[in-house]
Amino acid sequence: MRKLLLIAVLFLLVNTAHAQYYISVMPALTSSPGSIDKKGNLSFEVGKQWDCFSIGLDAGENNFTINPVKDNSIYFEIRPNLNIFQQGKFTNTITTGIGFVPNGQSTTTDPKGNIISTTESLLLMELTSGIEYAYSETIHINIMVGQFNYSGKNIASISSQPFFGVSIVRYFKAYKPISIIEHK
C-alpha cells in the first residue's frame, strides 16, 4: 500500500500542461446504524485535474465516535475522478477509490457463535457518482451518492455502506471542466 501511495504522490507532482491543483472537503452521511456521530464522515482531498480527469489523495474519518484506546476511523485513499458529461455549469462525475483503514475494526464469529472483534488494516474501496455545479471558475460544489466497501484478512466483505455527501472544491487557478461527451 505504501508503494501505491508513493506512486500516486509522484503522479500528482508531475508537471503537465493544462493541469492544475485543487483541495476539497467532503462531509457525508452513511446509512450505517446508530446516531449521527456513527453515520458522519468527513474527508479532505488534495489533487490534480487534467481536462476531464483528476486524481486526488484523500484522508478522512469514517465516523466521529470517540475511541479512548486507538482511533479506528481514520482512512487514506487514492481517488481518480472522471467528468462524464457536461451541460452548462453542471457536470456528471464518477469517482472510484482505493485505500486503507490502518486500525480498522473487524468482527467474526467463532464455531460456538461468539463474536470476536479484531483490529487490522482494512482495504477500502469506493464508487461514487455525482453532479458537480461550477459556482465560479475556482469554486465547485459536488452532490454525490456512493458506496464504501471494507474488507479485511479474514472476512471477504466486512461491510458495505451507502453514503450521501457534498464536496466543496477549490481550484488554485480558474477552471472550466471539460467532459468526455460534448453537447452541441
pLDDT tens for 164-176 read 999 999 999 876 6
pTM passes above 0.95: no
From the number of C-beta atoms within 10 Å of its C-beta (0-12, 13-18, 19+), residue 155 rates as middle
| Closest CA relative to residue 134, chosen from 101, 178, 97 | 178
| Distance (Å) of CA 115 to CA 54, 108, 158 | 42, 6, 13
What distance in Å separates the CA atoms of residue 17 and residue 50, rounded to the nearest whole number? 8
pLDDT tens for 129-169 read 999 999 998 999 999 999 988 887 765 556 788 999 999 99
In the numeric block, which cell numbers belong to residue 85?
458529461
Q: Would you state the pLDDT for residue 125? A: 92
pLDDT tens for 19-63 read 889 999 999 998 878 888 888 889 999 999 988 899 999 999 887
Domain 2-171, CATH: 2.40.160.20
Q: Would you state the pLDDT for residue 46? A: 97
| Closest CA relative to residue 91, chosen from 46, 34, 36, 53 | 53
Category of 113 on φ-ψ map: left (φ > 0), alpha (ψ -120 to 50) or beta: left
What distance in Å separates the CA atoms of residue 170 and residue 150, rounded to the nearest whole number? 29
